[in-house]
């Protein structure tokens, strides 16, 4: 028994990974992806990961965090000391990044502190606004060239980085699809679903305008709009101006409940102006929903027109509506595309992506898990 205890204590020595990212208090893709990595690594003997939130808070400071400019000052005052405390024990610092001012306020301090502590940095850029951001920001280009490894979730972003001479690897976003039940839509009904937040870049207004055209032909058509954001008053007003019927604004929906909305719908529609690799599309694939989308950013790299769904030009509500009507009137074609889309979902499962992340961490730590076991 004594030797057994000693063996347990000397078991595999995991790589220690600090994940610098938004906590789930911030509604968005980076927070979701960071949490999915943390969930994936929990109880994994090869990696011990912890979150370093870019949005730390203290309960007694919440009144200050509600004030726009004061919030930035308070957050930075909490964030820098947090980085100094929590990055010290890491073998690898995994930093999530968006663009523009967020780049300066969140990932840049993490890079500076990691460098000061002598820690290797894996930089994980997620923004679909990369083409404009990297073109405008010499600082961003310099930072991205200075880190040890850049990893992006799509071939689209890899190409953008290559245009600026920045080498990257591609590891797809993690999709948790076990709750999403695939089913054929037979008959296919004009029941539409949108799950993009109400920010200008997601252009939900174009979805509403397209739905107005669909409803001209199919008066019984319905649209469920899941999300929240700064444009909510405008979008609700637009729905009224367009005299839309059967439109439901649900507000925000928790990740563990969102599958119910996919299951209740027959067609998934999104009309972003800028995008990278939206997991909402993958969730629609997993649910058996035929997808209509604009062809912006990285979307054509995960959805081939006529194979996995239908694409339309940016902000072209007439083309979006025509694609929706095409699906309704050609249900066999819609089912064929839904089946082809479903087959792509495996590429986003943790069981596959886990080894890719582990290899990336090991390359930075300069040691493999087996080496660390032997050293232990």
Q: What is the pLDDT of residues 126-160, one digit of tens each?
A: 999 999 999 999 999 999 999 999 999 999 999 99
d(CA 107, CA 65): 20
**Gyration radius of the chain over CA positions:** 22
Q: Are 263 and 224 in contact (CB under 8 A)?
A: no
* pLDDT score, position 76: 83
Number of neighbours of residue 6 by Cβ within 10 angstroms: 8
Check residue 322 and give its pLDDT.
Answer: 98
Given a cut of 60, is residue 369 above it in pLDDT? no
Q: Strand order in 149-152's β-sheet?
A: 47-53, 15-21, 92-97, 121-125, 149-152, 169-170
pLDDT for 104 beyond 80: yes
For the cut 50, the answer to whether the pLDDT of residue 277 exceeds it is: yes
β-pair partners for 170: 152
The residue whose two tokens read 């709009």 is: 225
- Max Cα distance, the chain (Å): 77
Q: Which of 56, 51, 61 is nearest to 75 (CA)?
A: 56
Distances (CA, A) of 122 to 91, 119, 125, 201, 302: 11, 10, 10, 27, 24
Kindly give the interhelix angle for 68-86 and 107-117, rounded to the nearest 10 degrees: 20
CA distance 10 to 30: 35
- Measured in Å, how far apart are the chain's first and last C-alpha atoms? 20
Angle made by CA atoms 191, 252, 248, in degrees to the nearest 5: 35
**DSSP letters along 211-259, please?**
HHHHHHH-TT-EEEEE--STTHHHHHHHHHHTT--SEEEEE---TTTTH
> pLDDT-based confidence at 255, cuts 50/70/90?
confident
Of 126, 175, 128, the C-alpha closest to 299 is 128
Token pair of 189, please? 């009904």
Q: What is the pLDDT of residue 6?
A: 33
Closest CA to 154 of 369, 295, 299: 299
Cis omega (within 30 of 0) for bond into 187: yes
Q: Domains in the chain and their CATH numbers?
A: 9-174+349-369 (3.40.50.2000), 191-347 (3.40.50.2000)
- Average of per-residue pLDDT across 258-269: 97
Neighbouring C-beta atoms of residue 96, cutoff 10 Å = 23
User: pLDDT for 200-232, tens place per residue?
Assistant: 999 999 999 999 999 999 999 999 999 999 999
Task: Round to whole Å and give the CA distance between 36 and 351.
Answer: 12
Tokens 């994980």 locate to 124
- 3-state DSSP call for residue 348? helix
User: What does the alpha-carbon distance between residue 175 and residue 304 come to, in Å, rounded to a whole number?
Assistant: 19
Question: What is d(CA 288, CA 185) in angstroms, rounded to the nearest whole number?
Answer: 7
pLDDT in tens, 148-199: 999 999 999 999 999 999 999 999 999 989 999 999 999 999 999 999 999 9
């Amino acid at each position: 028994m004594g030797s057994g205890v000693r063996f347990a204590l000397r078991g595999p020595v995991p790589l220690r990974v600090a994940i610098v990212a938004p906590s789930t208090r911030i509604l968005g893709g980076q927070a979701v992806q960071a949490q999915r990595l943390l969930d994936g690594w929990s109880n994994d003997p090869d990696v011990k990961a912890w979150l370093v939130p870019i949005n730390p808070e203290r309960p007694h400071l919440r009144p200050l965090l509600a004030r726009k400019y004061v919030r930035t000052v308070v957050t930075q005052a909490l964030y820098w000391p947090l980085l100094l405390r929590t990055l010290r024990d890491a073998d690898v610092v995994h930093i999530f990044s968006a663009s523009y001012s967020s780049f300066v306020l969140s990932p840049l301090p993490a890079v500076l502190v990691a460098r000061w502590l002598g820690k290797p940095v894996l930089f994980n850029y997620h923004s679909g606004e990369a083409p404009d951001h990297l073109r405008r920001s010499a600082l961003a280009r310099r930072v991205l060239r200075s880190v040890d490894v850049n990893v992006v979730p799509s071939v689209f972003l890899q190409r953008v980085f290559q245009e600026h001479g920045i080498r990257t690897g591609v590891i797809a976003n993690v999709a948790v699809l076990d709750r999403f039940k695939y089913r054929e839509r037979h008959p296919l009904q004009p029941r539409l679903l949108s799950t993009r937040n109400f920010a200008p870049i997601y252009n939900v207004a174009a979805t509403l305008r397209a739905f107005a055209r669909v409803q001209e032909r199919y008066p019984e058509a319905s649209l469920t709009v899941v999300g929240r954001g700064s444009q909510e008053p405008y979008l609700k007003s637009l729905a009224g101006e367009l005299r839309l019927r059967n439109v439901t604004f649900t507000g925000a929906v928790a990740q563990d409940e969102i599958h119910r909305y996919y299951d209740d719908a027959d067609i998934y529609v999104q009309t972003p102006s800028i995008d990278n690799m939206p997991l909402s599309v993958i969730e629609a694939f997993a649910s058996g929903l035929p997808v209509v989308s604009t062809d912006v950013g990285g979307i054509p790299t995960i959805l081939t027109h006529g194979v996995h769904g239908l694409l339309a030009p940016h902000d072209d509500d007439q083309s979006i509506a025509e694609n929706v009507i095409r699906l309704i009137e050609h249900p066999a074609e819609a089912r064929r595309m839904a089946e082809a889309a479903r087959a792509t979902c495996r590429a986003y499962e943790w069981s596959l992506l886990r080894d890719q992340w582990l290899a990336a961490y090991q390359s930075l730590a300069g040691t493999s898990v087996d080496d660390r076991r032997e050293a232990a």
